[in-house]
Structure 1
Amino acid sequence: MALSENIQFYAATDVGRVRDHNEDNFLVDKKLALSIVADGMGGHAAGEVASALAVRIIHEEVKKHKDVVEKYAREGVSSRAGAKEILAIMELAVQRACAKIHDEAKQDANKRGMGTTLSALLIVASHGFIAHVGDSRIYLLRGGKVQQITEDHTVYNELIKRGKLTRDQIEKVAQKNAITRAVGVYERVEVDTLTIEVLPGDQFLLASDGLHGYIAHTAELEPYFEEADGETATRELIDLANRKGGKDNITAILVRLGAGDKQDDNRARRLHLKREVLAKMPLFSRLAEREMLRIMQVADVLSYDVDQVVVAEGDRGDELFIVLSGQVRISRGETLLNEFGPGEHFGEMALIRAMPRSATVTAIEPSELIVLHRNDFFEILRKEHELAVKLLWQFLGVLADRLDQTSRDLSSAREELNAEDITDAIFPDEIEPGPDDAPVTEPRPRDSYLPEPPSEQSPPSGP
């Protein structure tokens, strides 16, 4: 049974203890495995209108492309283009909702400036597709650990990323919780999209800020994920927010994936190994979990047979390779340069420049390699500004390490060239004859051991 057919959904919403009406809206389509949370904003109940429009339009747009979703469900991970197409559908759905809300606001003065946050999760086969705008959140529980996998689009978060103020200083900013992106305020909006590989036992929580605003640390959510009854868990989350003040509307959707088959277990082990290998690379070692998920989204795994060439010397390539399992041989011409095993990588310079490969890499046993392409790397740099800074900074470190190693190699070579010449000790000018030795003549200089050119009187050597 596919994971997307073995999911349980639990949802609840509450007006809270301060507001007089609920501007949150949510949707759960169990057949489509689609969940949406939207938190509206605007006076005269306009926020409720905005969130309702967003939920309805996105649902309709995704259903229109059900054939694409079903095709991907059949083809699964073999269809990289299919995954991109589904993400494009999710983004297009948000943009259409944005344009519709903006148009409604222009036609009614009472709704001017209305908008909504939005977090949507669509699970297809073994992958989850996320579209996100604003400060609602999606959390993931995996392996007993809770992590936030969406980024808040708020003034507070922007100030943190820019590093201009300390956290204590930011806490004093009056509008620190103001959102910097919303669906409908303008005709278009920048949408965060993400694909993650889902595993049996994964749990997702979609929450409006009326709930997560009372969560100081993600670990506080663990008891609710561990609650056996999902209905009880969502109700207790609502009660938690109300006990702590209930100053805003509160919405929670809990999504629980059931057990998988043996193939899912193998995929889980591979995914864990893939993440572990990537995290040990200097280029990715300082990334947060959400950022690592972004890298894993575009990192493919390719298999190679014995003696199969991975890259050929002189070819132009655009991929970084990391050995996941097996072993490869690095050679130049007939010369063996090195052998790489799991965790070792090559070709990282191809991510930033188009140059011929300097060596040939061949699998010397059945091997699996993680592959990251230049186009995908550049797309991350363009869209994920904070992540781009981290990656480029780490890249500078990799280049500095290479330059340092090259300097050490050159220094070692220079020392060898400047080493004391001990030729005279090997070929002394005179050797004292022993009592039983034949007379020793003075040896010729070393150059004279080369054959002497024939004299003009020498007879020709040919017939």
Structure 2
Amino acid sequence: MGDGTAAADPEEAEQATGGIRFWPGTDVGRVRDHNEDSFLVDKKLSLYIVADGMGGHAAGEVASSMAARTVRECLAAERDALVEYEQGHGGTTRKDILRLLEASVQQACSAVHEEGIRDESKRGMGTTLDALLVIGSRGFIAHVGDARIYLYRQGSVHQLTEDHSLMNELLKRGRLTREQIEKVQYKNAVTRAVGVYESVEVDVFDFDVLPGDRFLLCSDGLSGYLEEAELPKLFEEIPEEKLTPHLIDLANERGGKDNITAVVVRIPDDESGVDKLTREVNLKLDILHKMPLFRFVTYQELVRVLNITSVRNYTEGESVVDEGDEGDELYVVLTGRVKVHSGDTTLVELGPGQHFGEMALVDKAPRSASVSALQPSKLLAIKRRDFFEMIKKDHDVAVKLLWSFLGVLAQRLRSTSRELGEAREQLAAEDLTHELLGETTQVEILADDAPSEGGTDAKLIETAPDLEPVDLDDEPTPAEVEVDVDPKE
């Protein structure tokens, strides 16, 4: 672990369990007289932590060091559960790991808070904390504060964490433009910190880790001097073993007003499985991103959506859903082909990128049609319970998804109304023809009634594929819409 100093011997510290390589470093900067940042690396756990303390009179460095150590101790005490998850034995799930990681941060928060109460000189001390835990092909992140974790993947850089800062909140709410940032008096103020109070809200999530992925964990003393657009070039042109000192030097050259800490982590290449795993992860991300429902979400948010999905494999002729059953899942076709049918009547066939059952995310109505695999198929499924759990935790994602949902439903309602109008015209024409021929035909035409539940029109609404999203150019943007999610849903 580093508490205000860089790793004593980078050559010894750069190889972790499973071939993961890492390069940590920290610097006091050009203005501060002491370093309140800490980093921690545990090779055996494949755990990487960056913490930026606050509190003055050396209390900040106490808080950051204590928090990082406490998280490691809590995870080390549950090493058996981590091993069980990696080996697929014992029933430990990724949700168990996320709960364990969050509990570790809460324990750290309590420890720092209690120390502040015990020692009057440290009262009110706290720290940001970012932890990356790698287990097999999964990454687990815990995040509190305004330090950051970046992912470099296939030539692009993505910020995986969202700053818990006053400045970011003002930007999100449209109260501040990026041009006005420099004029903000308390732009470094954080809205969440470990240890200031007895507990803290922790962002935790997991994601697929691909061979060759690289991560940068850094305090705001570095990220404050970096533009995300310049990071891909730095990852590409600077040798990995020199990237950490290069970034620290860069921050100092651009001002060095704060302590600077960075940990670069490299996942090893695995030629045997890289192509298959990479293709599958990219396929899931690409298909979700192209769906109208997810058109407003960022890459960071899309990763969180992917967390609540599961992949299902179906053989030819196997039933996916049955008409009349209560629905609670949205399905997206990844590979293969399925048919939507009622009895022996095929309503539509769906292929890769198309989806069905989205109405199940908002109600528990019976399925209006059956779906079966026409060939071996791989489907992505999202459960209603997991969907609501996600949007309850992240209000920004909730606004974007529910706004998109309204757009999709509005488009389908318009499409259904248009088709009903065409059907009425056709029936009226047939009725007129029969009258002219002297035939009497009893025809009942639905006037302005909504489609009957479970009827043909209801099937149409739920299963219509490849519909373009509704044009919302003249409507308010998602950021202007307030959505109140009932926590009892």
TM-score by length of 2: 0.84
Give aligned-pair identity as a percent: 55
- Tell whether the 8 Å contact from 1:116 to 1:184 is kept in structure 2 after alignment: yes
Q: 1:222 aligns with which of 229, 232, 238?
A: 232
The equivalent of 1:49 in structure 2 is 62
Is 1:146 aligned to residue 135 of structure 2? no
1:219 CA displacement:
2.5
- Write the letter of the residue equivalent to 2:131: A
The DSSP-based 3-state class of the residue aligned with 1:422 is helix
- Tell whether the 8 Å contact from 1:170 to 1:176 is kept in structure 2 after alignment: yes
Q: 1:21 aligns with which of 14, 34, 59?
A: 34
Q: Which one has the largest radius of gyration? A: 1
Partner Cα separation in structure 2 for residue 236 and residue 166 of structure 1? 30
- Tell whether the 8 Å contact from 2:17 to 2:43 is kept in structure 1 after alignment: no
- Tell whether the 8 Å contact from 1:210 to 1:250 is kept in structure 2 after alignment: yes
- Write the letter of the residue equivalent to 2:135: V
1:95 CA displacement:
0.3
- Write the letter of the residue equivalent to 2:134: I
Q: 1:86 aligns with which of 84, 97, 111?
A: 97
Q: 2:86 aligns with which of 66, 73, 85?
A: 73
1:229 CA displacement:
3.7
- Write the letter of the residue equivalent to 1:109: E
The equivalent of 1:135 in structure 2 is 146
1:152 CA displacement:
0.3
The equivalent of 1:383 in structure 2 is 393
The equivalent of 2:363 in structure 1 is 353
The equivalent of 1:266 in structure 2 is 276
The DSSP-based 3-state class of the residue aligned with 1:394 is helix
- Tell whether the 8 Å contact from 1:304 to 1:363 is kept in structure 2 after alignment: yes
- Tell whether the 8 Å contact from 1:321 to 1:346 is kept in structure 2 after alignment: yes
The equivalent of 1:110 in structure 2 is 121
Partner Cα separation in structure 2 for residue 193 and residue 284 of structure 1? 21
The equivalent of 2:3 in structure 1 is none
Please list the CA deviations of residues 51-96 of structure 1 after superposition, one character each: whole Å capped at 9, or x if unmatched: 01001100100101111111111129x97x6111111111001000
1:301 CA displacement:
1.0
Give 4+ residue runs of structure 1 displaced > 6 Å after superposition.
none
- Tell whether the 8 Å contact from 1:321 to 1:345 is kept in structure 2 after alignment: yes
Unaligned runs of 5+ in 2: 1-15, 442-489
- Tell whether the 8 Å contact from 2:434 to 2:440 is kept in structure 1 after alignment: no
- Tell whether the 8 Å contact from 1:145 to 1:219 is kept in structure 2 after alignment: no
Unaligned runs of 5+ in 1: 428-444, 449-463
- Write the letter of the residue equivalent to 1:389: V
CA RMSD in angstroms comes to: 1.9
The equivalent of 2:338 in structure 1 is 328
Partner Cα separation in structure 2 for residue 195 and residue 291 of structure 1? 12
The equivalent of 2:187 in structure 1 is 176
The 3 A distance-change label for structure 1 pair 424 and 354 is: closer
Partner Cα separation in structure 1 for residue 20 and residue 262 of structure 2? 16
The equivalent of 1:237 in structure 2 is 247
Partner Cα separation in structure 2 for residue 424 and residue 415 of structure 1? 15
1:10 CA displacement:
0.5
The DSSP-based 3-state class of the residue aligned with 1:356 is coil
Q: 2:215 aligns with which of 204, 211, 214?
A: 204
Q: 2:351 aligns with which of 307, 323, 341?
A: 341
The DSSP-based 3-state class of the residue aligned with 2:311 is strand
The equivalent of 1:370 in structure 2 is 380
1:424 CA displacement:
6.6
Q: 2:135 aligns with which of 103, 124, 136?
A: 124
The DSSP-based 3-state class of the residue aligned with 2:132 is strand
1:170 CA displacement:
5.1
The equivalent of 1:455 in structure 2 is none
Please list the CA deviations of residues 6-44 of structure 1 after superposition, one character each: whole Å capped at 9, or x if unmatched: 210100001111111110000111121100000000011
**Bigger relative contact order, structure 1 or 2, given CA contacts below 8 A and separation 6+?**
1
The equivalent of 1:58 in structure 2 is 71
Please list the CA deviations of residues 263-308 of structure 1 after superposition, one character each: whole Å capped at 9, or x if unmatched: 3320110111111111111001221010000011111111000000
Alignment of 1:311-460 (within 5 A): 311-419=321-429, 421-423=432-434, 427=437, 446=439
1:162 CA displacement:
1.9
The DSSP-based 3-state class of the residue aligned with 2:273 is helix
TM-score by length of 1: 0.88
The 3 A distance-change label for structure 1 pair 413 and 114 is: same
1:227 CA displacement:
4.8
- Write the letter of the residue equivalent to 2:241: E
The equivalent of 1:435 in structure 2 is none
